Homo-oligomer: A and B are copies of this chain.
Amino acid sequence: MARPDDRAPDQLRPVRIQRGWLDHAEGSVLIEFGGTRVLCAASVQDSVPRWRRESGLGWLTAEYAMLPRATNTRGDRESVKGRLGGRTQEISRLIGRSIRACVDFKALGENTVVLDCDVLQADGGTRTAAITGAYVALADAVSWMRERKMTKGDPLIDSVSAVSVGVIDGEPRLDLCYLEDVKAGTDMNVVCTGGGSFVEVQGTAEGRPFDRSELDALLDLALGGCTELTRLQNEALGR
């Protein structure tokens, strides 16, 4: 059974990474995974939250959100509803946790980087696109800081990228678009370092529970996808 866009099961959608999309942010990226389009901004603040003060350590946090008409049907704004939804908070926490895995907070010094990941258009895999783009925005913000001697050495230990995988009609597939996402029996988001280790593995049986062999196949697919995303991140960064 062919994929909606005729990709091979282990093939990413076309990925496009535009750096410097915003004039004001210290780092900013418009990242596209096919029809998914996320604007990632890295903002540098020369202070840390109260609980972190006088520790010599920096901090990094992330906020994820979706514009109301990013999706096929318009969603209500969380600012209008007056409360953040569970999904929004869960993804914000995931992005922050994932990106923190590649940061040396001692080298960062008592500075904070805030990563804003705003989904302008959604077609599946918004959280993994956000993580992949946020790393690039962070890398630019870190360069900006290093030029200003705000850091102590290189705060980036490794790179981080992420991809979704899932089982559709019994077939493990890489980087699901929305049409595949809603049909997936098992859905997994995997965050890896550039070095190929796992930062986060989140697998969910949407329909039928999954067994060990399916899990293994999905992890293999995801590792391959992250290797390619790492290459694209490095290419975008001119490394």
Measured CB to CB, the residues of A under 8 A from B are 22-25, 28, 35, 39, 41, 43, 45, 63, 65, 67-72, 74, 77-80, 82-90, 92-93, 97, 101, 114, 116, 118, 120-121, 123, 158, 188, 192-193, 195-205, 208-212, 215, 219
Contacts and interface: CB of A to CB of B under 8 A. Distances in A.
Nearest to A45: B74
B101 A205 contact: yes
A72 B219 CA distance: 38
| Copies of this chain assembled into the complex | 6
A80 to B, nearest CB: 7
Task: Name the residue in A41, A63, A79, A86 with the highest tally of chain B Cβ atoms < 10 Å from its Cβ.
Answer: A79
B69 A116 contact: yes
Which label, helix, strand, loop or mixed, suits the secondary structure of the A interface?
Answer: mixed
A70 B118 CA distance: 11
Contacts of A65: 77, 79
A68 B80 CA distance: 16
Nearest to A114: B74
Given A204-B97, A210-B198, A39 B24 contact: no
A43 B69 contact: yes
A17 to B, nearest CB: 17
Contact of A205 (B39, B70, B120, B198): B198
